[in-house]
Amino acid sequence: MPLVAHTQLPTFERLQQEGEDVLSPGRADRQDIRELHIGLLNMMPDAALEATERQFFRLVGACNKIAQFHVHPFTIDGLERGDKAKAYIEKYYEPFEKIREEGLDALIISGANVTHNRLQEEDFWQPLTEVFDWAKDNVTSILCSCLATHALIQYQYNIVRTPLPAKRWGVFPHKVLDRLHPLVAEINTRFDVPHSRFNEIFRDDLEQQGVQVLVDSKEAGVHLAVSPDGFHIVFFQGHPEYDDISLLKEYKREVLRFFNGERDDYPPFPEHIFNRKACRIFEAYRQQLIAAKENQSEMPAFPEEQVLPYMDNTWRDSAKAVFNNWLGMVYQLTNRDRLLPYMEGVDFDNPLKLPHK
């Protein structure tokens, strides 16, 4: 499913430079391939706004090339923005009013930063629930990530997330619980997923409401779950979209916060991501940084380039496979007329009976 650069969004050029297959509008017009229109409600803070675009665009673009993907980024009110981000959004993002008028085949909702203990007190709560209410009635499938999962699980099922004793932070092993579900068909039954959160929604609470948990971890809890109908709402509690260096960047930010006195303790390592060699490099750096802080001297350069050779991505292939399954089902359910001659016996009212392609 090639991405189509249907706007001047800089993410398209960045992905092309990375070797991704991105079609120009001219090339797309010459292809006799059906379009799918995917919304990306990007609620991430300014520093992560464009990176989040690229991460989700990569997963969409990595799917089987059976359609042309037009991805429509937009955002909502109630999110604190600086002038630069506001200008970027004004130039490249679409207003929700236009999204609602023209419609979508599927919708991705990103995570967000919070400033209150209760999610319903956030300024973005009402605009988010308005988008969700519209999408439930007008979009084939909604995929929620991290904070969006917590907010919409609460809104939909009245399950309030529980604060964790410490931040759940790292890359954790997971196991597929239902191998027959089309979303996890033909992927590894065990795979890794990054997590980065202070709160959790538990498997028992979800299952009591009929939400089906598809992927779970003994260490990190639920990662992937679906609404009781099996497909309309997909919930990620982890971050399969993360880049190789996303957690490294988060660790760097926490080290900087310690150096600047914004946190009292030196941050622990994210779990299961740095091998012994990387840990030794960071331990030596820790001693240098603490000495520099005590001497009120300049912060030593963070050893990012030194540790990169010792880091592995152990989640990307499984993330691509789940997205491929998800968008393949969206394609089938939104293309009934074309598919009917080839799909004899398929019950389109029950997406779980769709054959896996």
Mean pLDDT by 10 residues, the chain (357 residues): 77 78 65 82 96 94 80 96 97 96 96 93 97 96 96 97 95 95 93 96 97 97 96 96 95 97 96 96 97 96 96 95 93 65 48 44
| Active-site residue, selected from the candidate residues 146, 174, 181, 195 | 146
| Active-site residue, selected from the candidate residues 150, 239, 250, 254 | 239
Rounded to whole angstroms, the Cα distance separating 206 from 226 reads: 10
Q: What is the pLDDT of residue 339?
A: 45
Q: What is the pLDDT of residue 135?
A: 97
* Cβ atoms of residues 63 and 327 within 8 Å: yes
* Residues 263-303 pLDDT 10s: 999 999 999 999 999 999 999 999 999 999 999 999 999 99
Q: What is the pLDDT of residue 337?
A: 43
Q: Establish whether 122 is a catalytic residue.
A: no
Domains and CATH numbers, the chain: 3-243+313-353 (3.40.50.880), 246-310 (no CATH)
Q: What is the pLDDT of residue 357?
A: 34
Q: What is the pLDDT of residue 350?
A: 55
Q: Establish whether 239 is a catalytic residue.
A: yes
Q: How far is CA 312 from the centre of its chain?
A: 19
Q: What is the pLDDT of residue 342?
A: 39
Q: What is the pLDDT of residue 160?
A: 97
Q: What is the pLDDT of residue 356?
A: 38
Greatest pairwise CA separation for the chain in angstroms: 75
Rounded to whole angstroms, the Cα distance separating 72 from 159 reads: 30
- Block residue for tokens 């240098």: 288
| Active-site residue, selected from the candidate residues 53, 241, 250, 254 | 241
Rounded to whole angstroms, the Cα distance separating 238 from 197 reads: 8
Rounded to whole angstroms, the Cα distance separating 330 from 328 reads: 5
Give the strands of the sheet with 212-217, arranged side by side: 22-23, 3-4, 68-74, 35-41, 106-109, 141-145, 233-236, 221-226, 212-217, 162-176, 190-200
Q: Establish whether 272 is a catalytic residue.
A: no
Q: What is the pLDDT of residue 206?
A: 97
